[in-house]
A and B are shown apart, each in its own frame.
Chain A
Amino acid sequence: MNLAVCLKRVPDTTTKLKIGPDGKSIDPQGVEWAISPYDELAIELALRLKEKAGGEVVGVSVDPDGNDVAMRKALAIGLDKGVLIKGGGNFDGWATAQVLASVLKARKFDVIFFGKQAIDSDAFQVPTMVAHLLGLPRVNVCTSFEVDGAKAKCKRQIEGGEETIEVALPCVISVQKGVNGIHDKRFPSMKGIMAAKSKPVESVAAPAVESTMEVVKLEMPPERPPGKIVGKGVDAVPELVRLLKEEAKVL
């Protein structure tokens, strides 16, 4: 099977963010970059599918500034090759989708995988938009994905339940943590890291696209008003309940 995984480079989840001098973006100083965690699960799902059905897995990523750390990591984990789309750092979801679709359209993929969201913009929309642009069915927040001939049977997480969706291949899938029992990313082996160096990475220029939204301000969340330590141990319980009832009025 011919499989694609779309990857995004994001600050590692343990990063303490600082706002940059432009007031619209984060300060890249001291940020450790990683593959967005849900994309790592998409990589694992794609690799398992390849190990069963054969074929190859291609990583596709937008690289705004020549920092290809996400792609290099993905190749070390096991992707066969990569496509880096150069340019464009301030894309909104629609612009990103158009850029990705321009690369994906030219190649025939059976399944295009995404993480359910990138953990920086948290926008939940690029997979759907890519599917729209390519005229493909899509299933977001997938918890189960099984290929059966020319079809895929998917389960999708919703509030308090699960939807079953059957789509024809080719299709676009975005994955939730726990998809097909996958909770953890695959770590690169030493052999994988060495092999990654000789794997082909194609560079293509991003097509001219325009964002429909712009960030006008980025700020830290408002500080929570200082709280109080009610007390220690079980003796503090009556006072805690009184505060919840009379002061906070949440009971």
Chain B
Amino acid sequence: MNLLVFAEVRDGKLKKSSLETLSEAVRLAKPLGSKVGVALVGEGIKAHAETLGKHGAAQVFAVDSPRLKFYASEAYAKAVVSAHQKLGSGAILMAATSMGRDLAGAVAALLGSGAATDCTGVKIEGGKVVAKRPVYSGKAYATVAFKKAPAVLSLRPNVFVAQETGGTAAVEDLAVAFDDADFRSAVKEVAATAQGKVELTEASVIVAGGRGLQAPENFKVRDELASVLGAAVGASRAVVDNGWRPHSEQVGQTGKTVSPNLYIALGVSGAIQHLAGMRTSKVIVAINKDPDAPIFKAATYGVVGDALEIVPVLIQNLKKALAQ
């Protein structure tokens, strides 16, 4: 079963999560002796074929057009399906980024299939694609089996490991006949809202703050710790509902689901809907005044105490440790 991976390029950069997806496809294809192809879609994107080859892509189908400079749901889906037809793939994989989540649905609709989104595990058993994915925002996991091919899957960022295997991909230009209807949902403009900030869902370290930080101005303590660690910042629903922090920072069932290497929760009690959004983090540190707070049940390391007193000392100690 050949596998096709969609490679996402944003601002001229190939997404790390696309390489994670590609590496997982290469691992799946190896025992099957099948081929991994990549759909590389955008404007002026062909230089990325080299990196894709190094990560094990046998073939890159480049759909390069000025019309594809920005994301266009229908057009990108058409490009991916063209590459799929060329490769004869049994599964189409992409990273579950905001583009990937949109595209997975669009590609699946074109093929008359469902899509398994945000997968944390993929297997191919007896020619069938089986995926494990969080549902109820991570309160449970569903294993889903595709009844027909091709399977369309998006893989959760930060779960699979990107790995260079060495190699060179054959690059083929794919001419796709677009019409105006393919651009009816096209993006006109992209604006950065948070220049230089690390995006929560892609971050390997996250520092989150909750009501235990007591006041909106105290979140500078969280931000300072985050900047020492090069971390993204998160917040609990309680402080977002209070208007202390924007919803874009909310972690949990009605916010973002994250799985960084290190999640530091400052004054976060650990309500069930918050835990659902971060419990797959590899290491969780909880700092909370209340020794009975549910966050301590999920934490790898807990410190009982006032985060506002502890964090400045933690920052000093971390600076020393990181300098060594």
Which A positions have Cβ atoms within 8 angstroms of B?
11, 13-14, 16-17, 19, 26, 37-38, 92-95, 97, 119-129, 131-133, 135, 137-141, 156-168, 176-178, 183, 210-221, 224-225, 227-234, 236-238, 240-241, 243-245, 248, 250-251
Contacts and interface: CB of A to CB of B under 8 A. Distances in A.
B175 interface: no
Q: Looking at chain B's contact residues, is the secondary structure mostly helix, strand, loop, or mixed?
A: mixed
A63 B322 CA distance: 56
A19 B113 contact: no
B309 A124 contact: no
Interface stretch (B51-59, B85-93, B98-106, B163-171): B98-106
B301 A139 contact: no
B177 interface: no
A233 B314 CA distance: 11
Q: Which of B285, B303, B321 has the most CB of A within 10 A?
A: B303
Given A94-B108, A178-B246, 16 more contacts: A13-B272, A13-B273, A123-B117, A124-B117, A125-B117, A160-B192, A177-B247, A212-B112, A213-B146, A216-B130, A224-B279, A227-B297, A228-B302, A232-B304, A248-B283, A250-B283
- Top 3 A-B residue pairs of the complex, sorted by shortest distance between their CB atoms: A125-B105, A128-B105, A132-B109
A214 B283 contact: no
B51 to A, nearest CB: 20
B185 A230 contact: no
B104 A13 contact: no
30 contacts: A13-B253, A14-B272, A26-B140, A93-B114, A94-B112, A94-B113, A138-B73, A140-B102, A141-B102, A156-B98, A178-B246, A178-B247, A178-B248, A183-B247, A210-B147, A213-B147, A215-B144, A219-B140, A220-B139, A220-B141, A228-B302, A232-B305, A233-B304, A233-B310, A236-B303, A236-B305, A240-B303, A241-B318, A248-B300, A250-B261
Contacts of A92: 114, 144
B137 A122 contact: yes
- Interface hub of A37, A120, A125, A211 (most chain B Cβ within 10 A): A125
A120 B247 contact: no
Contacts of A224: 279, 284, 297-298, 300
A55 B92 CA distance: 42
A164 B187 contact: yes
A128 B152 CA distance: 14
B11 to A, nearest CB: 9
B116 interface: yes
A38 B145 CA distance: 27
Contacts of A165: 185-188
A59 B193 CA distance: 33
Given A128-B109, A168-B184, A233 B309 contact: yes
Interface string B170-212: 0000000000010011111111111001010110010000000
Nearest to A141: B98
Given A119-B253, A164-B187, A213 B114 contact: yes
Contact of B299 (A121, A127, A215, A227): A227
A237 B310 contact: yes
Contacts of B109: 94, 97, 125, 128-129, 132-133
Contacts of B250: 177
A216 B147 CA distance: 11
- Identify which of B114, B140, B146, B147 gathers the most chain A CB atoms within 10 Å of its CB: B114
B140 A123 contact: no
Nearest to B151: A213
B227 interface: no
A160 B194 CA distance: 5
Given A125-B105, A157-B98, A162-B190, A232 B303 contact: yes
Contacts of B199: 159-160
B140 A218 contact: yes
Nearest to A161: B192
Contacts of B253: 13, 119
Contact of B309 (A129, A132, A211, A234): A234
B317 A221 contact: no
B26 to A, nearest CB: 24
Contacts of A160: 192-194, 197, 199
Contacts of B309: 233-234
A88 to B, nearest CB: 14
B137 A221 contact: no
A245 B262 CA distance: 11
A1 to B, nearest CB: 19
Contacts of A243: 301
A213 B300 contact: no
A211 B117 contact: no
